[in-house]
């Protein structure tokens, strides 16, 4: 049924698509990660930002390790955490979006479940490589002309080991739940109206209206959410582990360079992350006013433009830093700063994609409802293109 142009109720309310909630949660986690990296890389208090150069100076070691941590172990943790976050977000989004033929969603879910289990094996390998070696991590602070003083980072290394194990456990749990509940029909979102003519005994278990399907969906969503949380924590801890703030001073002990972002880069990112986090937090309030929704959409567009500006400032600062040679005896590490710049542009793309999907693509046919069914009239209904006739937070659990 198409929208009646004279229907004042339609023009007063805004219907979110089923993909809105997981998409916004993904954006929220992205910008929480960004502001966490920004605070750590600022090497200063939030209210007293210090100007710096976007590179860390680390002591070169003959065995190829940096502060006692081999590049292989560090890169494996980075790859595992990024894969876990990406797969969990994709699995939630695939569930939320509308697919005309549920068998396609079923095959994709089985593939994602296998990838989650395989990533869980990688997390177990990371745990095996890290356990018992926490005392190897250290933070060396000094200068090119002074005695280097090293401090143990065993606490952060222990945190990485703990979250290796937690991430592995929830990757296995998530993969098992996605596969099992896809087989039962709960995670395939086979629409109830498509099986209206079938007898109760012929329906898939996920279609039986006894409350079990909703519990299964909730458990799977929580498993995926905790997988994302543990993956983000492991990613941030891994990036923080080298932790060298190796200041460069001259022979007269005068400071030449301090690692960190330029002040303007840090301030722009603080403003960007604050805007996005507060906007999404307000968006999660169960309001469906069209005026409020379009105001929030405008703020998302502004935030996307700010993210592009932050990306440009960060890239310019990194390019300027690479133009200056590193002092003898130390290696310049740009990895956390490049990662921050990448998250800038990823956040911008996610914001722009959300606005395009939610405010244009999902509304292109203006379909409001589907054929009547025997479902509960108080339950929010969805249209054929995934439009949710209700507030944002009611969408993800509907089959």
pLDDT bucket at 118, cuts 50 / 70 / 90: very high
Instruction: Tell me the average pLDDT across 143-171.
Output: 76
Instruction: Tell me the average pLDDT across 6-13.
Output: 60
Helix or strand holding residue 313 (H, E)? helix 290-322
Q: What is the per-residue pLDDT for 247?
A: 54
β-strands 330-333, 255-257: how paired? unpaired
Q: What is the per-residue pLDDT for 167?
A: 93
Q: Is the pLDDT of residue 271 over 90?
A: yes
The 3-state DSSP class for residue 398 equals coil
Q: What is the mean pLDDT of the chain?
A: 75
In the chain, where are the structural domains located? 20-55+259-370+382-399, 72-243
Instruction: Tell me the average pLDDT across 154-160.
Output: 80
β-strands 255-257, 248-249: how paired? antiparallel
Instruction: Tell me the average pLDDT across 332-339.
Output: 84
Q: How many CB atoms lie within 10 A of CB 381?
A: 19
What length is written for the chain? 399
CA nearest to 268, candidates 226, 234, 306, 236: 306
Q: What is the per-residue pLDDT for 150?
A: 66
Regarding predicted confidence, which is higher, 22 or 28?
A: 28
| pLDDT per residue as tens digits for the range 346-369 | 999 999 999 998 888 777 645 544
Regarding predicted confidence, which is higher, 103 or 199?
A: 103
Q: What is the per-residue pLDDT for 74?
A: 79
> 84-88, 125-129, 170-174, 391-395: which has the minimum mean pLDDT?
391-395
């Amino acid at each position: 049924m198409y929208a009646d142009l004279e229907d004042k109720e339609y023009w007063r309310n805004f219907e979110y698509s089923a993909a809105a909630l997981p998409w916004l949660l993904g954006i929220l986690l992205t910008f929480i990660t960004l502001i966490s990296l920004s605070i750590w890389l600022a090497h200063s208090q939030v209210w007293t930002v210090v100007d710096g150069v976007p590179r860390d100076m680390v002591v070169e070691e003959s065995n190829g390790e940096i502060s006692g941590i081999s590049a292989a172990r560090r890169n494996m943790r980075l790859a595992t955490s990024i894969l876990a976050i990406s797969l969990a977000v994709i699995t939630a989004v695939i569930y939320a979006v509308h697919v005309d033929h549920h068998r396609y969603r079923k095959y994709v879910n089985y593939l994602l479940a296998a990838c989650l289990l395989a990533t869980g094996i990688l997390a177990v390998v990371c745990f095996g490589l890290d356990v018992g070696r926490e005392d190897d991590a250290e933070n060396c602070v000094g200068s090119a002309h002074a005695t280097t003083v090293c401090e143990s980072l065993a606490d952060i290394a222990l945190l990485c080991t703990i979250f290796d194990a937690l991430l592995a456990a929830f990757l296995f749990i998530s993969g098992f739940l996605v596969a099992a509940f896809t087989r039962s029909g709960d995670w395939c979102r086979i629409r109830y109206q498509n099986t209206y003519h079938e007898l109760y005994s012929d329906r898939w278990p996920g279609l039986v209206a006894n409350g079990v399907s909703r519990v299964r969906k909730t458990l799977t969503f929580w498993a995926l959410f905790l997988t994302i949380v543990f993956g983000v924590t492991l990613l941030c801890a891994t990036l923080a582990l080298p932790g060298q703030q190796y200041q460069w001073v001259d022979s007269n002990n005068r400071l030449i360079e301090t690692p960190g972002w330029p002040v303007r880069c840090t301030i722009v990112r603080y403003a960007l992350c604050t805007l996005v986090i507060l906007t999404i937090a307000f968006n999660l309030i169960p309001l469906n006013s069209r005026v409020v929704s379009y105001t929030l959409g405008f703020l998302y567009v502004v935030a996307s433009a700010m993210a592009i500006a932050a990306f440009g400032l960060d890239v310019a600062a990194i390019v300027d830093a690479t133009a200056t040679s590193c002092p003898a005896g130390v290696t310049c590490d740009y990895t956390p700063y490049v990662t921050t710049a990448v998250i800038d542009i990823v956040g911008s793309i996610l914001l722009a994609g959300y606005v395009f999907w939610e405010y244009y693509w999902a509304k292109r046919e203006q379909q409001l409802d589907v054929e009547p069914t025997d479902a509960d009239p108080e339950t929010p209904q969805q249209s054929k293109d995934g439009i949710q006739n209700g507030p944002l937070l009611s969408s993800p659990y509907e089959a």
